[in-house]
Amino acid sequence: MKNILICVIFSLLATAILYAEMLEAIVARVNDEVITLSEVRKIENDLMRSLSVKYTGEELVTKFSEAKKLIIERMIESILLLQKAKERGISVEDEVLNSLEQLKKENNIASDEELSNALKQEGITIEELKMQLRERTMQQKLIYFYLQGKVSITEQEMQQYYNEHIEDFTEPARFRISYIFISTADRTKEEALTITEDILDKLKAGTDFLQLATEYSEDASKEKGGDLGFLSKVEMNTLFAQSIDTMQVGQISELIESEDGYRIFKLTEKTEAQVNAYENVKNEIYQKIFEMRAEKYQDEFIKKLKEESYIQILYDPYKTNTSS
């Protein structure tokens, strides 16, 4: 029995060592740097997590299968860009700090400690985030320097883009809505209908909407008198969006029936759609056109870096036949 146990332990150790060696196996060499299998697997896991936010089932499997084939190639390109950026002495510390401050602002985070706690829930440290931001910004800055003088954009072209994509620079109309909801969850549809019709009669008789919403509504918004704030048509319940355009400010809707109950809403305020002036979006337009035209030159730049570098793929886990 003792000999069997020793054999089992050695077998498990051998398997663990072999697995560790596989994880740290060198997948590729890029000049004086290497890509390990564990690094590839980490990118693979991040990719799956990212795709699973948008896709599910067979579609997720298909998207992941297609995307993972490019992992090693993209890692090689990323290393080449970073190597060249370091060679040129590109510094991005100010940009990294600004990005962190912007991230905190967008997520209502007051301190680095609070940010660190939030990141911990995502399985990442603040130092890892800084490194990611630093590397990404260095790559972007290098490409931008390379593209300067190659991409030319005139004022006339920007104006034309603005005119042809005016809807992209238009703030949609926004509607402030208050509503009352009577649910059918704990009563029959007939009972819910009777309650809602009684409320509608009171509103037509002049009773204050806020008062009735606070008293009768079965939605969390009742605490604010049924107020939902300002919403664009795409942000609001489709039951409201169907009739909102024909309503006047102060007008109360008719009774609206749905599967979960009955609703009555009131349009309390409205802001008309507004087109952003060309001067206000000029920089945004320049960036859009720049990015569209830059792709060709960016590919050329990366191709040139590859030609000037020593690259050896020793093992590709996504191909049946590996090459060296």
Spans of all domains in the chain: 10-151+286-313, 173-272
10-151+286-313: what CATH class?
mainly alpha
CATH architecture of structural domain 173-272: Roll (3.10)
The whole-number average pLDDT for the span 93-112 is: 84
The whole-number average pLDDT for the span 49-74 is: 87
The whole-number average pLDDT for the span 293-320 is: 87
226, with CB counted inside 10 A (0-12, 13-18, 19+), is: buried
Distance of alpha carbon 256 from alpha carbon 244, whole angstroms: 13
* pLDDT-derived band at 320, boundaries 50, 70, 90: low
Quote the DSSP letter at residue 252. B
- Core vs surface per residue 189-204: b (16+ CB within 10 A) or e: eeebbebbeebbebbe
Distance of alpha carbon 194 from alpha carbon 34, whole angstroms: 73
- Which DSSP string do the residues of 114-174 spell out, in sequence order? HHHHHHHHTT--HHHHHHHHHHHHHHHHHHHHHHTTTS---HHHHHHHHHHTGGGGEEPPE
Distance of alpha carbon 107 from alpha carbon 142, whole angstroms: 29
- Which DSSP string do the residues of 191-225 spell out, in sequence order? HHHHHHHHHHHHHHTT--HHHHHHHH--SGGGGGT
The whole-number average pLDDT for the span 195-200 is: 92
The whole-number average pLDDT for the span 183-200 is: 91
Question: Does the pLDDT at position 18 exceed 70?
Answer: no
**Is-contact 261 194, C-beta < 8 A?**
no
Question: Does the pLDDT at position 15 exceed 70?
Answer: no
Distances in Å between the Cα of 111 and the Cα atoms of 99, 114, 128, 242 are 14, 5, 17, 43
pLDDT in tens, 243-299: 888 889 999 989 888 888 899 999 999 988 889 899 999 989 998 888 888 887 888
Question: Does the pLDDT at position 126 exceed 90?
Answer: no
* pLDDT-derived band at 54, boundaries 50, 70, 90: confident
Residue 99: per-residue pLDDT: 87
Q: Which of 29-33, 54-58, 106-110 has the lowest mean pLDDT?
A: 106-110
Question: Does the pLDDT at position 103 exceed 70?
Answer: yes
Residue 196: per-residue pLDDT: 92
Handedness of CA 318, 321, 322, 324 (dihedral sign): negative
Distance of alpha carbon 17 from alpha carbon 79, whole angstroms: 28
Distance of alpha carbon 87 from alpha carbon 321, whole angstroms: 35
**Is-contact 37 72, C-beta < 8 A?**
no
How many C-beta neighbours within 10 Å does residue 283 have? 10
Residues 6+ apart with CB under 8 A from 310: 29, 30, 31
Q: Which of 80-84, 109-113, 245-249 has the lowest mean pLDDT?
A: 109-113
Three-class DSSP category at 106: helix
pLDDT in tens, 146-183: 887 788 889 999 999 999 999 889 888 889 999 999 99
Distance of alpha carbon 246 from alpha carbon 30, whole angstroms: 63
Q: Which of 189, 315, 173 shows the shortest CA–CA distance to 260?
A: 189
Residue 220: per-residue pLDDT: 86
pLDDT in tens, 23-33: 578 899 999 99
Q: Which of 256, 121, 234, 244 shows the shortest CA–CA distance to 180?
A: 256
Question: Does the pLDDT at position 13 exceed 50?
Answer: no
Residue 319: per-residue pLDDT: 75
Residue 104: per-residue pLDDT: 82
Q: Which of 182, 294, 174, 301 shows the shortest CA–CA distance to 228?
A: 174
Residue 73: per-residue pLDDT: 92
pTM assigned to the model: 0.54
Write out the H or E segment, with its range, that includes residue 10.
Answer: helix 2-23
Q: Which has more pLDDT, 18 or 232?
A: 232
* pLDDT-derived band at 5, boundaries 50, 70, 90: very low
Residue 238: per-residue pLDDT: 80
Residue 263: per-residue pLDDT: 92
**Is-contact 109 118, C-beta < 8 A?**
yes
Spatial strand order in the sheet of 256-258: 227-231, 174-183, 261-271, 256-258
